[in-house]
Structure 1
Amino acid sequence: MLDLLVLFGGVLILLLMIIKFKINTFVSLIVVSVLIGLGLGMPLGQIPVSIQNGIGSSLGELAIVFGFGAMLGRLIADAGGAYRIARTLIDYFGKKRIQWAIMVASFIIGVALFFEVGMVLLIPIVFAVALEASVPLIYLGIPMTAGLSVTHGFLPPHPAPTAIAGVLGANPGTVLLYGIVAAVPTVIIAGPVFTKIAKKWVPEAFVVKSKLSAFGEIKKWKLEETPGFGISILTALMPVILMAISTIYSIVTNDGKPYTAITSSSIKAGKVVTITKYPEHLIENIMMFIGNPVSAMILSLLFALFTMGWLQRKDHSEIANSIADSIKSISMLLLVIGGGAALKQVLIDGGISSQIASMFKDSSLSPLLLAWIIAVILRISLGSATVAALTAAGLVQPMLATASPNTAALMVLAIGAGSIAASHVNGAGFWMFKEYFDLDVKQTLKTWTVLETIIAVVGLGMVMLMNIWIH
């Protein structure tokens, strides 16, 4: 219990540093990580190692995904492709239905993409749509992030639900089917419905902006000067297409499990020897390559350099300027995400998750509700949805010894819903939302944190309803 008090005290100090004393967010996160590490009784030498490991594990992949994603978005915007997509969507759906169009598009795209990748790719397009429709960015941003969050927490082939299904022995196909049933009403309530409430609750966040600090100013275009809709949408969705091809291939040939390298270790002559085996067939290696977010972003950027650069008769200096501007705009965002990851790692290494496990050791609650509560507490404490979900799955696994396959699938969804709840200052998504939508911490807590909690609560409600009819 003392460890949890240390956690809550650390979060309070963090909020005071950022909101009251206006200290840089990245600096505040690192300082509070050290203070919480000391409060949890971690060895002094372990604290900087945990901070380093947290930043390294988070930014190792995200640096390329974010960096190349920002370059891709900037190239599309600077060539006029984002404007073309925005104008076409508005003309087709009309201004009144544009929010629903963005939500549906985000949901579909989110099935194939990690949350962070989907956010990076969609922001420039949604920003262009908001400007053209003369609506606040967050008016479209809430339905967009709702679509991405729901797919991230509920639907395989995303890492968390896929991994939980493996731990609990649930069929990924069944999880996907039940997940879609739970996801549709959840995304509607957390998206368009919550936007109406948020508009009254946080009116200062709903302002029309012509410039974002994390993206820059959008140039005004004449439609005839821009690339065609087909080539623009193909360039924007290239990472989705590549990862979707890999996912579909794995579903058809490998029971929905993505192709991965298998690492094994053995001791030879007193030394540990690590051997990594890759898929034997060329086509499987190709699918493993294009299905990885890093390589998908690399290939997509190369494609964008051609379609939005050279094909539009842009000279090398214009292309170079677009790329340089994109990196400048996300440099602080990357540091902030790294700081959040450092705090998360200190909490994990400090033993918070084991404290929570012991709290629920002999509980008599419904297994589905218990799994959700454990995932919620872990999410609030650790910040990472994936870590919270996997830890919760390990804790409730013994309860499923005699359960039916359908119950196991519902348990995956209950844990997935709980792992999304109450995202706050120790989660990367919180800082992404804040920086991309130009909000302050208080506005982000009132919008993003509430949005994620609505998804968790409605998701649990749908799981409990399905449990009445499914046995």
Structure 2
Amino acid sequence: MAILSILICLVLLVILVTWAKLNPFVAFLIVSILAGLLLGIPMDKVVASVQKGLGDTLGQLAIIICLGAMLGKLIAVSGAAQQITETMVNAVGEKRIMWAMVVTGFIVGIPLFYGIGFVLLVPFIFSVVYKYKLPAVYIGLPMLTALSVTHGFLPPHPSPTALVVMFHANMGLTLIYGLVIAIPAVILAGPVFAQTLKNIPSQPLKTFVADEIAQNKLPGSFKSFFTSLLPVILLMLTALLPFVIHGKGTLLKTVSFIGDPAIVMLISLLVATFTLGITQKKTMQELGDIYGDALKDIALILLIIGGSGAFKQVLTDSGVTAQIAATLQTYTLSPLILGWLIAAIIRICIGSATIAGLTAAGIVSALVLQGHVNPELMVLSIGAGSLAFSHVNDSGFWLFKEYFNLTVKDTFRSWSVMESLVSFIGLAGVLLLNLVVK
């Protein structure tokens, strides 16, 4: 009966988001309350359970996500993203422009949230397309592959960051494992797959070509690369240093403090405020406006994450997650494959990678917390599943179609196939890592 109740709630969530076009945050609240009642939580305790889940989730994530949004926005509007693009293109030459775009998308995509990254970086793709007279999909899709992979696999993006918190995983190790998987996924689903797309007709609208910032007003190359990659550098260093530093001295405590994701993002934003703000002659008022706009961009994402936390808490308080964990253990499938499959099914039904990842996490969380699977790899497995087969119910599908001026058929054979390749390659990478990671 409990499993049936959850299925009813998931179907209702899909209907509310896709057919009724209800705000996902409101949909999560409705479904969470209904799930609590169906699963036997007393009526006077259901709302308290929802509030606890929402508060606990946002309490751990709000700092990281908000600071990450501010950092990504500053990187984009300061010209650092443009500088990285131009530096990479000049370094590799016209024949390897595609690879320059991939590396740019990967570097800038780490701190930049996907929706923001798409709207801000696609115009740079079109500038290159018009300048060098190259096929738009062939050049553009690999860069967007990198953006998609960082969105699904790597902290500080909302879904993987939330999953790290839910599963009590290590943020630094998740990032390191994620990079190991992300690089081959980007290469195979990006430049390699794009070789088959050279003949897709596409005439991007010139409206979407970026207004380039004058070269003398751009931040320097080192400044742009260093600031964009600083969160990755700090997370990786603080994740690896404990293996080098032995004992429990002050140095180790300091490393642990600096390695906290909230501290990492705060340090990165403060550095960016100086390197991409003050030294670029931006006033604190201008920087404040940039940061305020960034928070507007991710307000709904925060609420959706909070709503998913409420749903997860209801499942936990009802005791059903323990039942699900016990049931899943009876299957011969690997828990990593099950996590991927649940996320993929929800993604195909709903269209949102973030909702798919967070909802799947709530269902399999007990399995992870009971120690039956590596938490970092489960984060990545669900992240890969949440990217499976983007189609007509995904806003990313329509963004790509309209910006690149494609038919629905060509969008399916390019965008949808790319997202599916990323998902399957990501799962394969997770399973291979599982053979060597204890």
TM-score by length of 2: 0.68
The answer to whether the 8 A contact 2:257-2:263 is kept is yes
Q: 2:128 aligns with which of 133, 136, 140?
A: 133
Name the amino acid aligned to 1:422: G
- Give the alignment of 1:64-463 within 5 angstroms: 64-93=63-92, 97=96, 100-101=99-100, 126=121, 129-130=124-125, 132-134=127-129, 140-146=143-149, 149=152, 185-192=184-191, 220-254=212-246, 280-281=249-250, 283-361=251-329, 365=332, 369-376=333-340, 383-384=357-358, 391-392=366-367, 397=372, 418-420=381-383, 422-423=385-386, 450=420, 453-455=423-425, 457-459=427-429, 462=432
Change (3 A) 1:236 1:40: same
Query: 1:207 offset after TM fit, Å?
Result: 7.1
Q: CA deviation at 1:439?
A: 8.3
Letter in 1 for 2:62: A
Match of 2:23 in 1: 24
Structure 1 residues 19 and 436, CA gap change in structure 2 (3 angstroms)? closer
Q: Which structure is higher in helix share?
A: 2
Q: 1:121–1:252: structure 2 CA closer, same or farther, 3 Å change rule? A: farther
Distance 1:330 1:210, change over 3 A: farther
Q: Which residue of 1 aligns with 2:350?
A: none
Q: Secondary structure at the match of 1:237?
A: helix
1:4 maps onto 2:7 in alignment: no
Residues 239-294 of structure 1: CA deviation (Å, up to 9, x unaligned):
22322332332231149xxxxxxxxxxxxxxxxxxxxxxx641x333312221121
Quote the Cα distance in structure 2 between the aligned partners of 1:63 and 1:39. 30
The amino acid across from 1:370 in the alignment is S
Which range moves more in the overlay, 2-11 or 87-96? 87-96
| Farther-moved stretch of structure 1 (353-362 vs 327-336) | 353-362
* CA displacement, residues 115-144 of structure 1 (integer Å, 9 cap, x when unaligned): x88869977875564354355776523333
Partner-residue secondary structure (3-state), 2:43: coil
CA drift of 1:38 comes to 2.0
1:274 — aligned with what? none
Displacement of 1:386 after TM fit? Answer: 6.6
Tell me, in whole angstroms, the C-alpha distance in 2 between the residues paired with 1:63 and 1:249.
Answer: 26
Letter in 1 for 2:318: G
For residues 45 and 28 of structure 1, do their structure 2 counterparts lie closer, same or farther at Cα, with a shift above 3 Å needed?
same
Question: How far apart, in 2, do the equivalents of 1:302 and 1:188 lie?
Answer: 33
Identity across matched positions, percent: 29
Deviations 1:379-436 (A, max 9, x none): 5799447777764456675xxxxxxxxxx9xx889756644453389xxxxxxx9689
AA in 2 matched with 1:353: T
Q: Which amino acid aligns with 2:322?
A: S
1:317–1:118 CA distance, 2 compared to 1 (3 A)? closer
- Who is 1:59 aligned against? 58
* Alignment CA distance shift 1:226-1:424 (3 Å): closer
Distance 1:7 1:188, change over 3 A: farther
Which sections of structure 1, spanning at least 5 residues, go unmatched?
A: 153-157, 166-171, 212-216, 256-278, 398-407, 426-432
Q: Tell me which amino acid in the other structure corresponds to 1:232.
A: S
- Please state how far the C-alpha of 1:87 moved relative to its aligned partner: 1.8
Residue 333 of structure 1 and its aligned partner are, at CA, apart by: 2.2
Q: Which runs of 5+ in 2 are unaligned?
A: 130-135, 156-162, 347-355, 389-393, 402-410
CA pair 30-23 structure 1, distance change in 2 beyond 3 A: same
Q: Secondary structure at the match of 1:45?
A: helix
SS state at 1:314 partner: coil
Determine the C-alpha separation between the residues in 2 that align with 1:416 and 1:68.
21
Q: CA RMSD in A?
A: 5.1
CA distance in 2, matches of 1:437, 1:240: 31
Report the alpha carbon displacement of residue 447 of structure 1 after superposing the two structures with TM: 7.7
**In 2, are the aligned partners of 1:10 and 1:35 still within 8 Å (CA)?**
yes
- State the distance in 2 between where 1:345 and 1:209 align: 48
Partner of 2:353: none
Aligned-pair CA distance for 1:209: 9.8
